[in-house]
Amino acid sequence: MGCPPPRFREVTGVAVNYEVVTELVEIEEVPEKLPESPWHSAIVDELKDKLTTHLVSKPEAVIIRDIYFQHKGKRYAPDIAIILKGAPPLARIGIIYHVPEDGPLPDAIVEVAVHAKALGEAISEKADFYAELQVKDYLVVEAFPEKPICLWFGHPVLGERPTLISEARSETLGIVVRAKWQTVRMFDFEGNEILSPSEALERERAKRQELERKIAELEQLLAQRSMIKMANEKQ
């Protein structure tokens, strides 16, 4: 069934007037979220795609992008929040997610900071808020434009703020995260790299091109040998 039509009444001999029935609801004021830079958005999307690939075997896991989590009068909108089990259906998740009224707390949080102010907030007041939420794993990706990416990682549930590290190992998600220049790489605990769909497609394309190159070289070599053999037979 679609949306119900508005109620109406007919005024005989004149026209049809429509009475739209509205329901007054209390709307919770939401702070305006600043627009993202394309660089920030691209990194967050890539991380979300990789996490989606990794968690495909966990159908109950939910990855949430850019909604406010509220707890005890405070609210922040992390770039990525992961709830492994018990999350409400996405259709029931609004702009603000009240913990614990709307569902379980996030198991892991990822923030991407593309300037100093965002980094400072991510490793201080946001970290304190996620500690109040009892988040298990918290990854901050420091991705300043034209600089090498750095990783910050901690366990808010233990009262930790994230610290600068060379490699983040999340037991909660079963991943290892490393930075390589301006890219973030993820691996499972067996050492297999976790690729986003676009990365997987690009690598398959590169493999196919390399195979085609080798086949072309082999065909050229066989043709040359065939010509040499024919020339020797004529002598």
d(CA 169, CA 189): 9
The predicted-structure confidence for 52-65, as pLDDT tens digits, reads as follows 999 998 989 999 99
Asked if residue 210 and residue 235 are part of one domain, the reply reads yes
In a domain, 157, yes or no: yes
Asked if residue 180 and residue 87 are part of one domain, the reply reads yes
d(CA 64, CA 88): 11
- Total domains, the chain: 2
Asked if residue 212 and residue 191 are part of one domain, the reply reads no
In a domain, 233, yes or no: yes
CB 79 within 8 A of CB 111: yes
CB 50 within 8 A of CB 82: no
Could you tell me the pLDDT band of residue 200, with boundaries at 50, 70 and 90? Answer: low
* Strands ordered across the beta sheet of 137-142: 62-65, 80-83, 108-113, 137-142, 150-154, 163-165
Asked if residue 161 and residue 218 are part of one domain, the reply reads no
Tokens of 226: 């065939």
The predicted-structure confidence for 78-90, as pLDDT tens digits, reads as follows 999 999 999 888 8
Mean pLDDT across the chain: 84
Residue 35's pLDDT is what?
66
Task: Pick the closest to residue 160 from 134, 185, 178, 191 (CA basis).
Answer: 134
In a domain, 33, yes or no: no
The better pLDDT of the pair 4, 38 is held by 38
Domain that residue 180 falls in: 38-195
Q: Report the predicted TM-score, pTM, of the whole model to 2 decimal places.
A: 0.74
Asked if residue 82 and residue 54 are part of one domain, the reply reads yes
Asked if residue 207 and residue 172 are part of one domain, the reply reads no
Q: How far is CA 147 from the centre of its chain?
A: 21
Asked if residue 107 and residue 63 are part of one domain, the reply reads yes
Residue 220's pLDDT is what?
83
In a domain, 7, yes or no: no
- The burial of 185, by beta-carbon neighbours within 10 Å (0-12 exposed, 13-18 middle, 19 or more buried), is given as middle
